[in-house]
Amino acid sequence: MEYTFQFGPLLNYLQQFVSGLWLTLGLSFVGIFGGIALGIVCATVSTSSFVLPRLAVRIYVETMRNTPLLVQIFVIFFGLPNIGIRLSPLTSVFIALVLNNGGYVAEIVRGGIQATHRSQVEAAESLGLTYFQTLRFVILPPALEKVFTPVVSQCVLLMLSTSLVSAIGVEDLTGAAMIASSETFRTMEVYLIIAVVYVLLNFIFRAVLNMAGLMIFTRSRRRLLGRV
Amino acid sequence: MRTFGSPEFLFIVYALRWTLTLTVIAFIGGGIMGIVLALLRIARSRVLRAVTTFYMQVIQGLPLLVLLFLCYYAPSLVGLEIAALTAAAVALTINSSAFLGAIWESALRAIPKAQWESADALALTPYKTLRFVIAPQAIRLALPSTVGFLVQIIKQTSLASIIGFIEITRAGQLVSNATFEPLKAFLSVAALYFAVCFPLTQLSLWLERRTARGGART
């Protein structure tokens, strides 16, 4: 009944772990930035005056937010071939992650846009700004700055949920761990190692994204540094 | 070969009770642990606060899937085999405790300090202060996010399918394997999740709007 931890046999799998880590980073990167871009577009549409696109975005956002990512991956990877769309596991998970994150980000950003006062939009209109100029210079910058913290939290959660891609055999960090554990039977060692890696990634992602926020949003930078 | 008909759909619907069982266990277990964590986070002792922070940060930084594997395989270290339901319940409880703890901590912190001080001036014991002064206000504040997180728990129970526990996602996989109609199977699963989660999401939104209005009045 004694269990001796042996990390030695896992050294042979270092290569797989490293390439799994890169894939996790790649998936997170695409999921985060693709999701943010999609989310901003959807949030803009859902606060516009076009009824049909608004309804479509609403349905999309609610579907993403009210179904599990795992089921979304299954529908895309296992389900779509039924109607003739055959995607590789990797393509499927890229699509699923971007769509999923896009839904969450859209809802967060929409809150930020709606918090912007109407008078600002009216002022922009009276200055003769076009719709896109108003969006680009008046509505989006303060809205995005306001919701930056919740968006970062959402993106870190997305990074953690990239581990679900291992369920359809994609060899990300968790996928590599599954293979290593089934071949060496050092299950606990394997999962303890990747648990530590994920916790570290969590801190790194949070720090990097917050730093990026300080670089993008001049106003919060000024507030932090005491009005430089 | 079987085709996807109403018996197959009903098979998935029946599995809903396991999804809900798991959700209830995780919500109650995570809720009890979450209350303790939230109280520890506002405790006077610095050591207690630091230990709690460490626990919450680690759990929040750990993918639920990895936590699930750890809970599933850890008992085998001492030669025990546990059921998939037990492992999933334990993992979801631990995961929920950290997130619910964080939600409730911020609600407790949102109560103005003057409330604690006035209760102290009235010679209320710390327990009575919490019970009659702080908690009633904090619960109102925390309710929208708590319902929001309940939706997260429901969706997270889908991960239990990976260790073979038959809730609706796993039931969907079984039906898909038997009928070779994965699209219908998984869309049914998605529709069931949606049917359970969507009303709760709307409830959370409604509560949030109501809390915001109440806050503006005072």
CA-to-CA distance for A73 and A164, rounded, in angstroms? 9
CA-to-CA distance for B145 and A142, rounded, in angstroms? 24
DSSP B138: H
- What average pLDDT does chain A have? 90
Nearest to A80 among B65, B183, B194 (CB): B183
Per-residue pLDDT at A183: 87
pLDDT tens digits, residue range A44-66? Answer: 999 888 899 999 999 999 999 99
Range of the domain at A115: 10-225
- The angle that helices A187-216 and A218-225 make with each other, rounded to 10 degrees, is 90
Band of pLDDT at residue A227, cut at 50, 70 and 90: low
The yes-or-no verdict on residue A104 having pLDDT over 80 is yes
CA-to-CA distance for B102 and B42, rounded, in angstroms? 11
Structural class in CATH, domain B6-212: mainly alpha
User: What's the gap in Å between the CA of A197 and the closest CA on chain B?
Assistant: 9
The yes-or-no verdict on residue B184 having pLDDT over 80 is yes
pLDDT tens digits, residue range B37-96? Answer: 999 998 889 999 999 999 999 999 999 999 999 999 888 878 888 899 999 999 999 999
| CATH code (residue A83) | 1.10.3720.10
The yes-or-no verdict on residue A1 having pLDDT over 70 is no
Residues A202-211, mean pLDDT to the nearest whole number: 93
Judging by beta carbons within 10 Å of its beta carbon (0-12, 13-18, 19+), is residue A64 exposed, middle or buried?
buried
CA-to-CA distance for B55 and B57, rounded, in angstroms? 6
Residue B138: closest CA among B62, B38, B33 = B38
Per-residue pLDDT at B215: 59
| Residue that the structure tokens 């606990």 belong to | A188
Amino acid at B22: L
pLDDT tens digits, residue range A127-169? Answer: 999 888 988 888 898 899 989 999 999 999 999 999 999 999 9
Chain A residues whose CB is inside 8 A of the B67 CB are 195
In chain B, what is the straight-line distance between the N-terminal and C-terminal CA atoms, in Å? 65
Residues B128-156, mean pLDDT to the nearest whole number: 93
The yes-or-no verdict on residue A228 having pLDDT over 50 is no
Q: How many domains does chain A have?
A: 1
Q: Which value, to the nearest 10 degrees, does the dihedral of the CA atoms of residues B209, B213, B215, B216 take?
A: 140
Residues A118-129, mean pLDDT to the nearest whole number: 88
Residue B165: closest CA among B104, B216, B91, B111 = B91
The yes-or-no verdict on residue A42 having pLDDT over 80 is yes
DSSP H or E run through A88: none
Band of pLDDT at residue A226, cut at 50, 70 and 90: low
Tally of CB atoms within 10 A around A23:
20
Nearest to A71 among B67, B189, B201 (CB): B189
Instruction: Give CB contacts under 8 A, 24+ apart, made by A114-118.
Output: A114/A47, A115/A143, A115/A146, A116/A142, A116/A143
Q: Is residue A177 in some structural domain?
A: yes
Per-residue pLDDT at A220: 66
Residues A112-120, mean pLDDT to the nearest whole number: 86
CA-to-CA distance for A98 and A92, rounded, in angstroms? 10
The yes-or-no verdict on residue B218 having pLDDT over 70 is no
Q: Is residue A3 in some structural domain?
A: no
CA-to-CA distance for B190 and B194, rounded, in angstroms? 6
Judging by beta carbons within 10 Å of its beta carbon (0-12, 13-18, 19+), is residue B56 exposed, middle or buried?
buried
pLDDT tens digits, residue range B97-110? Answer: 999 999 999 999 99
Subunit contact B193:A167, Cβ cutoff 8 A: no
Q: Is residue A5 in some structural domain?
A: no
Nearest to B158 among A65, A71, A202 (CB): A71
Q: Are A163 and A172 in contact (CB under 8 A)?
A: yes
Report the residue of B65, B71, B197, B198 to disrupt the A interface, i.e. the one with the largest count of A CBs within 10 Å: B65
Band of pLDDT at residue B217, cut at 50, 70 and 90: very low
Domain range list for chain B? 6-212
Per-residue pLDDT at A214: 86
CA-to-CA distance for B52 and B39, rounded, in angstroms? 10
User: What's the gap in Å between the CA of A23 and the closest CA on chain B?
Assistant: 16
